């Protein structure tokens, strides 16, 4: 075989590998970490309190509760659903204000009831409730009812507002990730018999769990609406 033919053969193989790689990369939608549920904006209601000092938002994101989440809620161990919301003026690029709702649900195995703990910026303490049904859980944790989002002065008058929400199911803390990374077994060079061997270099790192910021991330946005 001539050198030219060998080079040509290797170039074809390299081309095939690159094509494979590009094909793999051409399907980014299958590799998305987050679900962009906000393709169709949803309805939200913005309301001032009677003194027009505080602005509240009411919005539902019950579609976060897919079959996997509904099953998870019945497992007897805590599930946390966190909503973070950023308020924008229509066509605005900078957020005007932000809000947060933290909800922890625990199915009590013997009481056969859900314990729901909710914290919101307009509450001084965590509110704890018992609910016998999943519907009751979702009413508290997968929608907001008059959630404080802004105060007077943060929101321009007579401008439609948009809420961009991000829902995290069981968020993973950086401390937890650090502990996990210490636990996961690490590759060792000590089993290499040949000093120059480069095979097996990724031997033990292959299946390290790919841990994102949460078990599930769900994003949405609302239609522009004027506060009432």
Site residues (CB under 8 A) for another protein, limited to 160-179 = 170, 172, 176, 178-179
| Residue bearing tokens 């009812």 | 145
> Is residue 123 part of the contact set for another protein (CB under 8 A)?
no
Give the nearest distance from C-beta 5 to another protein in angstroms: 9
Name the one range near another protein by CB under 8 A: 42-50, 90-98, 157-165, 210-218.
Answer: 210-218
CA pair distance 165, 167, nearest whole angstrom: 7
Give the nearest distance from C-beta 64 to another protein in angstroms: 18
Binders of another protein among residues 17 to 56 (CB under 8 A) are 17-18, 21, 24-25, 27-28, 30-33
Q: Is 182 exposed, middle or buried (0-12, 13-18, 19+ CB in 10 A)?
A: exposed
Helix spans in 28-151 (H): 67-72, 134-141
Q: What tokens appear for 161 in the block?
A: 């507002």
- The site string for another protein over 85-114 (x = CB under 8 A, - otherwise) reads ---------------------x-xxx----
Q: Is 219 exposed, middle or buried (0-12, 13-18, 19+ CB in 10 A)?
A: middle
3-state secondary structure (DSSP) of residue 123: coil
- The site string for another protein over 127-156 (x = CB under 8 A, - otherwise) reads xxxxxxx-xxx-xx----------------
């Amino acid at each position: 075989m001539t050198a030219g033919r060998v080079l040509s053969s290797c170039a074809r193989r390299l081309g095939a590998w690159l094509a494979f790689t590009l094909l793999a990369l051409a399907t980014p939608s299958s590799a998305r970490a987050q679900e962009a549920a906000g393709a169709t904006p949803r309805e939200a209601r913005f309301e001032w309190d009677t003194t027009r000092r505080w602005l509240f938002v009411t919005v539902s994101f019950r579609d976060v509760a897919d079959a996997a989440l509904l099953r998870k809620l019945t497992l007897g161990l805590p599930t946390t659903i966190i909503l973070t919301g950023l308020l924008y003026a229509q066509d605005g690029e900078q957020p005007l204000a932000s809000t947060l709702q933290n909800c922890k649900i625990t199915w009590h195995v013997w009481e056969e009831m859900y314990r729901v703990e909710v914290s919101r910026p307009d509450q001084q303490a965590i509110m704890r409730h018992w609910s016998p049904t999943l519907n009751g859980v979702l009413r508290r944790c997968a929608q907001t009812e008059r959630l404080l989002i802004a105060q007077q002065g943060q929101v321009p008058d007579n401008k439609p507002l948009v809420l961009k929400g991000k829902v995290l199911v069981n968020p993973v803390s950086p401390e937890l990730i650090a502990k996990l990374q210490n636990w996961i077994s690490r590759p060792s060079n000590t089993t290499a018999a040949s000093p120059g061997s480069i095979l097996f270099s990724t031997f033990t790192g292959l299946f390290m769990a790919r841990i994102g910021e949460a078990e599930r991330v769900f994003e949405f946005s609302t239609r522009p609406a004027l506060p009432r």
